Amino acid sequence: MDERLVQFEEKMGKTMSNLNEEFGSIRAGRANPHVLDKLRVNYYGTPTAIQQVANVNVPEPRMIQIQPWEPSMVKEIEKAIMTSDLGINPSNDGKVIRLVFPELTEERRKDLAKDVKKKGESAKVAIRNIRRDANDFLKKLGKSSDVSEDEIKSLEDAAQKLTDKYIAEVDKAVEAKTKDILTV
């Protein structure tokens, strides 16, 4: 890999990891503690991740159990979950909060699958934009320095191969997540 293209590969890699994070927060019928990753609770005036103020585990395939280290946090965590877009009502016994994930309906599964495809397309667009930035960079490099046209052409081919590699990764990730969602 030419060092002139490393920055563009890093950006494509970040796009891919961003997509994987987004896929992690989409619930597919089974309880996944990552659905809580984006939620923040008010911990002594500081927005804090739930995982930093409580023990989060999955005792059953469709249940997440949240056990705050401080009993006073039960209400805060409950409030954060209810105001989020999770669509789940928490239940608590004063010490432990339980989130029971209902079975997804066929229609909801299809909607989630569409959402996954949309996120995948957005990631592909981002990767293609990075390729365009790389090509613009290479054109400027060709005009301003003593780099030969053949070398620029080979760098553009390398940028295209990088793009193809990451587009294929996005397709694989979308396919895997869609299969995960549609599997009953």
**pLDDT, tens digit (0-9, with 9 covering 90-100), for 50-59:** 888 899 888 8
Residue 170: what pLDDT? 94
Question: If you average pLDDT over each of 69-83, 118-132, 168-182, which comes out highest?
Answer: 118-132
Res. 29 pLDDT band, cuts 50 70 90: low
Q: Do 62 and 93 belong together in one domain?
A: yes
Contact residues for 175 (Cβ-Cβ < 8 A; gap 6+): none
**Residue 1, in any domain of the structure:** no
pLDDT at 149 over 90: no
C-alpha span between 91 and 88 (Å, rounded): 10
Give just the sign of the alpha carbon dihedral 135, 119, 60, 184: negative
Domain match, 178 and 129 both? yes
63-68 sheet: strands from edge to edge: 54-60, 63-68, 97-100, 91-92
* Contact assessment for residue 28 and residue 180, using Cβ atoms and an 8 Å cutoff: yes
Is residue 56 in some structural domain?
yes
**pLDDT over 80 at 31, yes or no:** no
In a domain, 43, yes or no: yes
> 78-103 pLDDT, tens per residue?
888 888 777 778 888 888 989 888 77
The pLDDT value given to residue 163: 94
| pLDDT at position 28 over 70 | no
Residue 142 lies in a domain: yes
Range of the domain at 126: 6-24+105-182
Calpha distance 46→53 (Å, rounded): 11
Q: For residues 39 and 16, what is the distance between their CA atoms, to the nearest angstrom?
A: 22
CA-CA distance, 30 to 61, in Å (whole number)?
6
The count of domains in the chain is 2
Predicted local confidence at residue 17, as pLDDT = 92
Are 89 and 148 found together in one domain?
Answer: no
